[in-house]
Structure 1
């Protein structure tokens, strides 16, 4: 079947699970999307990973495809969004690695101050936060939930989550002082205790 001129027909076939339509989609766009992803990543391996993730997602969520949108535009936008998601993940991993190393430095510097006492102090001050503020702080820092996930879980706005997180950090910084900022990483990471 030739899908070249009929975006609507191609998308309808994809929605219905037509594997030939999916093969056509991959044959037509895979290399182009890899080239586009490469311009974003400057890394062939990452570019291919991004495009493969997009195609997997297109297939698994094919029933949500809208035939009135151009599939080509959708694919390019999906590749861009996947790149942004990967960038954010890598950025937050680098941030966490940096915080971990800072926390380890503090731990080494404060070995004589008894690291366990410091962590207990941080945990005590976290427990002294106002109840809703504490819950949101722990969901974010201990459970690793994003602000969006917490908002959905608790049924409140992201702005409310951000306000509680800001309040928690201000209270903790006031109680503990700026020098213990990175020790939050150790205190809030159950794998390290």
Structure 2
């Protein structure tokens, strides 16, 4: 799917994610995931850290904090995120318009599985992290009992090339990250790593 131009799917997705009851039900039924884990991770962010949030989608993890840069390839999603912040940038996760070692924290919640090359995206996020900086996020993974649904999403061109939890560890390690912590829950794996 071209998330840059797909407005109907992105609007429906954003509406479901922003609605607490609907997102809780959808995450549990579709992915066997308790979305309160994601909401807790978002709430625990350091508001003083210079943060890049990509893809930010409709702005679930965004707050109106000048230290929080929300970025997405989709102009439509940025328009939806604008209701939460004005610090928005249209950017491609494979070629970020920032210098190396810029951010204290990079967030990528529920986006890697939509990409054709998640490993390349993680390398680019690592590039813009300062030494000692943290990369954190969540992604859907293969290797769970939700593989048929992931295959369907790929056929519908909604998902890119999601890996397994083991693939995610390899991608993070190959990007030069350490102190990798993976938390699989249902078909979702949360991750944190340091540069």
Q: TM-score, normalised by structure 2?
A: 0.26
Which has the greater radius of gyration? 1
Higher helix share: 1
TM-score, length-normalised on structure 1? 0.26
